[in-house]
Amino acid sequence: MTTRINPHRLVQASPADLKHPSNNIKRIVLSTAQIAVEAHPAKWLRTPSKPKSRVLVIAHSDRGALDDHALQTIAAAAILADAETAVLALILGELNDDLSSAAADEVMILPALDFQIFQPDIELASVLAIIELLKPKHIFLPDNLIGDGDLGRRLAALKKLSVATHVLEIDVQHVASAQSGGCVLAQSNLPEVILLAPNAVDAELPFTAKATRIDAPTINHAASPYQAHYQDMGLQTSAAEDIALEDADFIVSAGNGVQNLATLASLASSLNAAVGASRVVVDDGKFPRDKQIGATGKTVTASTYMAIGISGAVQHLQGIKDCRHVIAINKDASAPIVKRANLSVIGDAEAVMQALMIEIEKAKEVVA
Amino acid sequence: MKDSVKHIAVLVSAGRHPVSGEPRHCHNDSLALALGLNLASKVQVLHAGTPSNPALQDYFALGATQIDVVPNSDDIIESLAAQLTDANLILTGTRAESGEDSGLLPYLLAAKLNVPIVADALEIKANREQLEVLQFLPKGRRRRVLVSLPAVVAVHPSAAEALHFVHARKNLGNINTLHASNTKMQTIIDDSKQADSKQWRAKPARKPIKLIAQTAQTGHERLMAAISNKAKGGTVVNEGNNVEKAQVILRYLREHQLIEF
Ligand SMILES: Cc1cc2nc3c(=O)[nH]c(=O)nc-3n(C[C@H](O)[C@H](O)[C@H](O)COP(=O)(O)OP(=O)(O)OC[C@H]3O[C@@H](n4cnc5c(N)ncnc54)[C@H](O)[C@@H]3O)c2cc1C
């Protein structure tokens, strides 16, 4: 009697089977977990062993981390660098992250030059000293409003360097920026100073780099020719409710799973956060239309986005794609928001919010 | 204290209506003019370009009484700087947020005149020999900065200055064309490298191409990448009571320095 082979059996292909040259059978294998791992082959190391030249990326950090725009700028430099060029990331402000996955070959940190303090003359003097020392071929900066756009323009104007600002398109040969009210996409050869617009580069890289820490040269500010023309009188942060959602740094957002909006409002005020909402909640008339976040509402860029009782429909996720830290509170562990969130707490929205407010009060008392 | 800053100059450019393309005033420069007129009853208004540009009349409607026009030349910065050697405060607009303009002009002028520059100003107040500037920063942050005079200040588009547009004033102003000859100060030789119009090749607008790293993937790798669930997902906390869950959130916020307590 012949034994029948079960046609519905699980295919048992190992990664070795697929790799072996004698195994020419092409098949689609979906069932084994090991093979899915193969989909992300180890990244290769880009760092040149004997670099002949350097490119410099300058970016301010915010609370010890670089934002996506800064990471994109490092990625651009790394993609364009040839095999004999090293990418040096000069970070102004503290840095807690490792920049090897950002593909910086070398990292130099000047913690005193935090973006919160206005000291363009000292920043410029420091950067000039480093440029003098390392003679980079190109200097990349994110064209932002936390000091990098300003610094790049000061540098180019003072040293009469060729420069392109708000660069929307870049490759080995050219850069392009919008001119004449957006009617023209003007192109130029790669200039010495490149100020990149956000999202002109994909920061997802197939390679990593060594991110070797190198010490900054000692910079003698007293001897610098830049007089102290400026005096910083301090930073002020507006109350969260006065800030437009697009401009807010911390948003607590209400979805259909929030029973008690008053709890959410007081949680938001204890975190000094702005309040947003999903479309369902806005459609219910609980919030004005200008609080809606998503494809048909507002696109927000807050560093922290707390999604409470929000399922995370694609239309909603579109509006928060640039948020760095997404925290979800949801009773359903399979809700799509859980895949997007950096931290998901599975539980009842009202109960977790109440507990969180008590913890926040306690934490504030300890500090005070 | 009005009029405590002597000789304020405002640089204005010609804008275009975003839909019709009609020439009109540039919003940012109009804000600069309004801030200037707050500080002093009379300011010098300067434009580099053609005297007959109809957009200039908008600035009369916005309070200018005379516009000095510096004719276009090879080096606009040079010609403008020659007019501004006596100015104590030079106001301009900042580049549009949408990046339709390089935003370099105020920096080049400041470098040429060897004076400090503060960009993204929302409010300005005269304070003896200094100027107090409220500066825009993203995410609802603002910063107060003192800058010594003379200085260049570039005004941010969200400066909350109300523009008073009086149509009746449109034809009342006087356009004063300056001669190109007296705009020449000196010729700088190594300016050839300076970014200017010569560097750029104009191409019609299209969607910019994003820079993406080349990946040498086999067909199989591409397939697996497409079908495997790429969404990384973060930490999921299922266990514990509500207090413990709340503590996890608080710890996360602290670890990433997202709160200050
Ligand atoms: C063309 C189009 C455009 C759209 N544009 C937008 C847009 O701009 N913005 C937008 O937000 N949506 C938009 N939508 C709607 C979107 O598809 C979703 O329907 C909507 O985002 C869902 O909102 P929600 O997550 O608040 O509600 P629901 O989908 O009802 O989800 C509620 C969530 O709360 C959880 N929950 C319930 N009770 C509790 C509890 N007690 N404690 C904790 N969690 C609880 C549930 O598990 C669920 O995940 C659009 C849709 C279309 C078709």
Residues A174-208 have pLDDT tens digits of 999 887 766 778 899 999 999 999 999 999 898 99
pLDDT higher than threshold 70 for residue A30? no
Ligand 1 atom nearest to A293, measured from its CA: 9
* Stretch among A345-359, B36-50, B189-203 having the lowest mean pLDDT: B189-203
The per-residue b/e assignment along B34-45, b for 16 or more CB within 10 angstroms, e otherwise, is: bbbbebbeebbb
Q: Are B19 and B97 in the same domain? A: yes
Q: What is the Cα Rg of chain B in Å? A: 25
Q: Which amino acid belongs to residue A261?
A: L
**A249 inside 8 A of chain B by CB:** yes
CATH of the domain at A123: 3.40.50.620
* Burial grade of A91 (CB within 10 A; 0-12, 13-18, 19 or more): buried
Q: What is the C-alpha to C-alpha distance for residues A116 and B121, in angstroms, rounded to an integer?
A: 16
Instruction: Tell whether the model's pLDDT for residue B224 goes beyond 70.
Output: no
Asked whether residue A3 is domain-assigned, the answer is no
Q: Are A162 and A191 in contact (CB under 8 A)?
A: yes
Residues β-bridged to residue B135: B121, B143
> Ligand 1 center to residue A291 CA distance, Å?
14
The answer as to whether A230 is a domain residue is no
Among the listed ranges A161-175, A235-249, A257-271, B22-36, which one has the minimum average pLDDT value?
A235-249
Determine, yes or no, domain membership for A229.
Answer: no
Pairing of the two strands B8-11 and B44-48: parallel
Q: What is the DSSP letter of B150?
A: S
Please indicate, yes or no, whether residues B42 and B88 belong to a single structural domain of this protein. Answer: yes
B233 pLDDT exceeds 80?
A: no
Same domain, A31 and A130: no
The reply to whether A233 falls in a domain is no
What pLDDT score was predicted for residue B75?
82
- Helix axes A261-270 and A349-367, enclosed angle (nearest 10): 20
Determine the Cα–Cα distance for residues A308 and A273; give it in Å rounded to an integer: 13
pLDDT of residue A189: 93
Round to whole Å and give the CA distance between A249 and A239: 11
Same domain? A154 vs A25: no
Residue B179 and residue B231 in one domain: no
pLDDT at A29: 53
Residues B111, B223 within the same domain: no
The answer to whether residues B64 and B13 belong to one domain is yes
Do the domain assignments include residue A235?
no
* DSSP states along A152-216: HHHHHHHHT--EEEEEEEE-SSEEEEEEGGGTEEEEEE--SEEEEPTTSB----SEE---EE-PP
Q: What is the pLDDT of residue A226?
A: 53
Whether B69 and B22 share a structural domain: yes
Q: Among residues B164, B187, B210, which one ends one of the domains?
A: B187
Is there a domain that residue B210 lies in?
A: no
CA of A348 to the centre of ligand 1 (A): 16
Query: Using 50, 70 and 90 to split pLDDT, how confident is the model at A318?
Result: very high
Question: B51, B69 in Cβ contact below 8 A?
Answer: yes
Helix, strand, coil shares of chain A, percent, nearest 5, are 30, 25, 45
Q: What is the number of domains present in chain A? A: 3
For the record, the structure tokens of A3 come out as: 């034994």
Tell me whether residue B206 is in a domain: no
Amino acid identity of residue A318, one-letter, is Q
Give pLDDT tens digits for B78-131: 889 999 999 999 999 886 544 457 889 999 999 999 999 999 999 999 877 899
Q: What is the mean pLDDT of residues B218-239?
A: 71
The values of phi and psi at residue A236, to 5°, are -130, 145
The verdict on B163 and B246 lying in the same domain is no
**Whether residue B235 is found in the same domain as residue B141:** no
A170, A78: one domain: yes
Length of chain B equals 261
Range of the domain at B226: 219-255
Domain-embedded: residue B150:
yes
* CB pairs < 8 Å spanning A and B: 286
Do B11 and B47 touch, CB atoms closer than 8 A? yes
pLDDT at B192: 37
> Could you report the per-residue pLDDT of A50-84, keeping only the tens digit for each?
999 999 999 999 989 999 899 999 999 999 999 99
Residue A270: CB atoms within 10 A of its CB come to: 16
- CATH number for the domain spanning B147: value is 3.40.50.620
Average pLDDT over all residues of chain A: 88
Domain end marker among A195, A223, A251 = A223
Residue A94 pLDDT greater than 70, yes or no: yes
* ipTM of the complex in this document: 0.84
**pLDDT surpasses 80 at B170:** yes
Question: Are residues A244 and A333 located together in one domain of the fold?
Answer: yes
Are residues A185 and A272 located together in one domain of the fold? Answer: no
Residues A245-260 have a mean pLDDT of 94
Q: How confident is the model at residue B138 (pLDDT cuts 50, 70, 90)?
A: confident
Of the pLDDT bands very low, low, confident and very high (cuts 50, 70, 90), residue B202 is: confident
**Is residue A23 located within the same domain as residue A128?**
no
Assess whether pLDDT exceeds 60 at residue B136: yes
Q: Is residue B108 part of a domain?
A: yes
User: Could you tell me if A63 and A208 lie in one domain?
Assistant: yes
Mark whether A98 and A118 lie in a shared domain.
Answer: yes
pLDDT at B256: 86
Please check the confidence at residue A95 and state whether its pLDDT lies above 80: yes
Based on the domain organization, do B148 and B246 belong to the same domain?
A: no
Distance from the alpha carbon of residue A315 to the mean position of ligand 1, in angstroms:
9
- Does residue B2 belong to any structural domain of this protein? no
B42 plus B101 within the same structural domain: yes
Cα A268 from chain centroid? 24
Query: Rounded to an integer, what is the distance from CA A137 to the centroid of its chain?
Result: 25
A355 to B246: CB separation less than 8 angstroms, yes or no: yes
Give the binding-site residues of ligand 1, using a 6 Å CB cut-off: A 255-257, 278-281, 292-297, 309-311, 313, 315-316, 319, 330-332, 335, 348-349
Residue B178 — very low, low, confident or very high, per pLDDT cuts 50/70/90? Answer: confident
Are B33 and B126 members of one domain?
yes
Q: Do A190 and A300 belong to one domain?
A: no
Q: Give me the pLDDT at residue A2, please.
A: 65
Six token digits for residue B168? 């009746």
**What 8-state DSSP symbol labels residue B14?**
E
Instruction: Give the Cβ contact number of residue B253 at 10 Å.
Output: 23
Domain housing A162 = 45-223
Residue B58 burial (C-beta neighbours within 10 Å; 0-12, 13-18, 19+): buried
Assigned domain for B1 exists? no
Are the CB atoms for A245 and A290 separated by under 8 Å? yes
Take atom 52 of ligand 1 and give the residue whose Cα is closest.
A315
Contacts of residue A1, Cβ cutoff 8 Å, sequence gap at least 6: none
Do A55 and A27 lie in one domain? The reply is: no
Residue range B125-141: mean pLDDT, rounded: 88
Which residue, A223, A257, A280, sits at the end of a domain? Answer: A223
Domain final residue pick, A196, A223, A250 = A223
Q: What is the mean pLDDT of residues A39-43?
A: 60
Q: What percent of chain B has pLDDT over 70?
A: 84
Residue B132 counted as domain residue: yes
Report the residue of chain B nearest A76, measured CA to CA. B211
Query: What is the reported pLDDT for B186?
Result: 38
Give the predicted TM-score (pTM) of the model.
Answer: 0.80
From chain B residues 35-64, the ones with a CB under 8 A of any chain A CB are: none
- How many Cβ atoms from other residues are within 10 Å of residue A29's Cβ? 19
Strands A230-237 and B141-148: antiparallel
Weakest mean pLDDT among A29-33, A57-61, A229-233: A29-33
What's the whole-number mean pLDDT along residues A311-329?
93
A64 and A178 co-located in one domain: yes
Regarding whether A146 and A79 lie in a shared domain, the answer is: yes
Ligand 1 center to A273 CA (angstroms): 21
- Is the pLDDT reported for residue B188 higher than 60? no
pLDDT band for A237, please (50, 70, 90 cuts): confident
pLDDT of residue B99: 45
CA distances B24 to B18, B105, B160, Å, are 10, 20, 20
Q: What is the pLDDT of residue A35?
A: 40
Q: What total of structural domains would you count in chain B?
A: 2
d(CA B218, CA A193): 36
Q: Which residues, including other chains, have CB under 8 Å from residue A230's CB and lie 6 or more apart? A: A118, A119, A120, A121, B116, B118, B145, B146, B147, B148
